[in-house]
Amino acid sequence: MKYLYFLFIQVLFVACQQNNRLPFLGEPEQMGDSTVYPTIADFSFLNQDSQFVSNRSLADKIYIADFIFLSCPTICPVMTREMYKAYEAFEQDNRVVFVSHTIDPVRDTIPRLKSYAENLGAKSGKWHFLTGNQDEIIDLAEKSYFATALPDSTAPGGFVHSGGLLLIDRNRHIRGVYNGTKPEETERLISDIKKLLKEEY
């Protein structure tokens, strides 16, 4: 009887843990008996240190991604401020990295990104500010991260983009999207990063 009770407690504990798992976002495909969720496509861009950052660079890492541009007069400064709060919370944890893609690579040159990162206090290798071919970055934003990012001459700063911070797991799945303009969403992001660390390591 004691054994059955102990077994019941174990099953209950596992079920509770599973219920606390973060969801997988995106439209899944059914492949036989398996449910397959979308993953971030292969990419390779240069960071503020002129080093290539790719899926291989981020292998075995949890990362938080966003899409910004440095001359943005609206939400980007707020997004970066909120991203920095999460960065500070995991600055000493080498399992977590941060990735900001510029959607304005013509103006956001590598020296400009480098200066921006240094002024922010972002460590090289911990927070990557990426640049590259604009069409490739925008395509990645829209098709892999399901984020809005496109030039628009009528928009402030010349671009329309979403303000999401995206939580990506070690297998390139999106596990959360957070409004990068709201402090309470940043708190939720920090909490979910902790959950994902327990789930994946």
pLDDT digits (tens, 9 = 90+) for 68-81: 999 999 999 999 99
Q: Answer yes or no: are the C-beta atoms of 175 and 192 closer than 8 Å.
A: yes
How many Å is the Cα radius of gyration of the chain? 19
Q: What is the mean pLDDT of residues 7-36?
A: 69
Question: Does the domain formed by 2-200 have CATH 3.40.30.10?
Answer: yes
Tokens of 141: 């934003």
Residue that wins the pLDDT comparison between 30 and 6 = 30
Cα separation, 40 vs 87, whole angstroms: 21
pLDDT tops 60 at residue 92: yes
pLDDT band per the 50, 70, 90 thresholds, residue 26: very high
> For 49-67, what is each residue's pLDDT tens digit?
999 999 999 999 999 999 9
Q: So where are the chain's domains?
A: 2-200
Which SS3 state, helix, strand or coil, does residue 171 take?
coil
**Do β-strands 159-161 and 52-54 pair in parallel, antiparallel, or remain unpaired?**
unpaired
